[in-house]
Structure formats: C-alpha cells, structure tokens
Amino acid sequence: MTLLFDSLWRAMLDCFRPRVMLLSLAPLLLTAVLSYLLGSLYWDASLAWVRSSLEASNIVSVVSGWMQAMGLSGITAFLAPLIVIFAVMPVVVVLSLLSVALLMTPALTSLIAEKRFPALERKEGGSLLLGLVWSLFSTLLALLALVVSIPLWFIPPLILLLPPLIWGWLTYRVMAFDALASHASSEERRELFRRHRLTLLGIGVFCGYLGAAPSVIWASGVLFAAAFVVLVPLGIWLYTWIFALSSAWFAHYCLAALQALRDERQGFTQPLAEALLSGHESRPNLPPDL
C-alpha cells in the first residue's frame, strides 16, 4: 500500500513538470488531429443516420408525442448528437491511450528510471513490435467486452461499474507492459504481473473512473452547443492528461517493484526492501560480501 501511494504522488508531481508537459503535446496533437479528421468525415453522416433511426422508432415517436403535448419538442434533435458522442467516445479513449503509450510512455519511463533507478539494469524483455501487438490485442479484447456488456448497462448499478472496469483493465495491460518493456525480462514481467495484478488493475480502474470526467464535459457540449467547439478539445486534453498520469503512476510503481524483486532474488536484507517500498531509493549500508 505504501508503494501504491508513493507512486501516485510522484506521478502527480511528474505530470506538472515542464519536460513531461512538453512530452504530452505529441499524443495530444495526434489525438486531436485524428478526432478532427474523423469528425469531419463522419459526423454529419452519423448524425443523419441516428436521426432517421430515431424518427423511425415507435418508442421515440410515442415519447416525442408526450413531450410535445407538455410543450417540449425537439427530442430527436437533442438525442441524436448525444448518441453519436457517446458512441465515438470509446474510439477517442482508445486513440488517447494508444498515443500516450506509443509516444509518451517510453520517454517518461526512461526519465523516471534515470532519476530514481539509475543502476537498474535494462533487460529489454519487450520489443516495440511485441508491445504494439500486446496493445492492439488488449484493445480488441476490451472493445469486445465493451460491446458484449452493453445490454447490462441498462441495469443501473452496472453502468457505473462495467465501463470503468473494462477501461481500467485495458489501461493496466497497456501501461504496465510498456513500463516494464525496457527494464524487465519476460520472466520478471510475468512474475510482477502475478504478484501485483490486483494492485495494477486497481490503478487502471481508478484511472478509468477519472476518465468519466471528459465524458461529462462532452455531454455538456450537447447541452451548450455554443461551447461545443471548446469543450470537445478540452475533453480530449483531459483524456490525454489522465493517461499521462496513469503512465507515470505505472512507471513509478512497476520500476520500484522490479527493483525490489531483483533485490529480493539477490538476497538483500529486509531493511532494503522496506526502504524501496517507502520510496527511498538510496540503498542502506550493506555488508562487504554483498
């Protein structure tokens, strides 16, 4: 638990450092450009298709008639953009996550390793190609789980549990792998995943709940159409910042856990393990034979 919170506050401090903020510009610009291109190509067509589907729905027609009788109209005009936005949010989330993992996590992990663990050996247990395959496969599994779970969202408690859990699992899979790719061997990575699976998943789920904030902002953009152009980029920036925070959090946690694992296997004393878990990187005095 000490390692968990120690990694969190270190990650939060890192996210406000000028060098890290500059690193976050690359995934932010990439996600913004891709989102703009997708919106330019498919927004009008998607909106028209959803509107026609709503107008052809008997349920929506009945509800619209009730609202018109009460002096309220335009339910289709309100629902159509809202449905489109919530439909494309998973795409934006995935783009943000993968862009941060590809463009930011390796550099951020190197910065953290140089600062906190300069003596940590790089065993290069995960290549760029392996990391890309791992991320894409994990993304496909998460999107499949998201689609399969949609009917359960109509059960009120599950809508608050399932999406963050799925996004949290995806974040944990992608970020933890990238954090250990350069420094851990394949065997060490598997061992750390086995030992810390629940904690790593917890970090991912926590970041998944943080990811609900941009969704609220996007929904507000439908209610306040005049601010929509401003709110959508703000939502994209929040997605990028949240994944940057999770990347730094995973890097601090995983590298500290890796150092503790290697020290444990080399037979270092218990005070050293406690020092690592408490966030003190300096090694205590060791006997000459160690």
Q: Is the pLDDT of residue 249 over 70?
A: yes
pLDDT tens track for 145-199: 988 888 887 777 777 788 888 888 998 999 999 999 999 999 999 999 999 999 9
Please report which residue ranges of 70-183 form alpha helices under DSSP H.
75-103, 105-116, 128-149, 156-159, 162-180
- Residue 163's pLDDT is what? 81
User: Would you say 254 and 180 are in contact if contact means Cβ atoms under 8 Å apart?
Assistant: yes
DSSP 26: H
Q: Considering its fold, how many domains does the chain have in total?
A: 1
pTM check: above 0.85: no
Containing domain of residue 146, as a range? 2-40+88-277
Euclidean distance between the first and the last CA atom of the chain, given in angstroms as a whole number? 28
In a domain, 267, yes or no: yes
Residue 287 banded pLDDT, cuts 50, 70, 90: very low
Percent of the chain whose pLDDT exceeds 90: 22
In a domain, 176, yes or no: yes
In a domain, 286, yes or no: no
In a domain, 115, yes or no: yes
**How many whole angstroms separate alpha carbon 86 and alpha carbon 8?**
29
Q: Cβ of 24: how many Cβ atoms within 10 Å?
A: 21
In a domain, 217, yes or no: yes
pLDDT tens track for 197-223: 999 999 998 887 887 666 665 555 555
Lowest mean pLDDT of 37-41, 53-57, 225-229, 259-263, name the range: 225-229
Q: Name the amino acid, one letter, at 40.
A: S
**How many whole angstroms separate alpha carbon 279 and alpha carbon 275?**
6
In a domain, 27, yes or no: yes
In a domain, 74, yes or no: no
- Residue 1's pLDDT is what? 65
In a domain, 122, yes or no: yes
Buried b (16+ CB within 10 A) or exposed e, 170-188: bbbbbbbbbbbbbbbbeeb
- Residue 164's pLDDT is what? 81
SS3 string, 162-173, reads HHHHHHHHHHHH
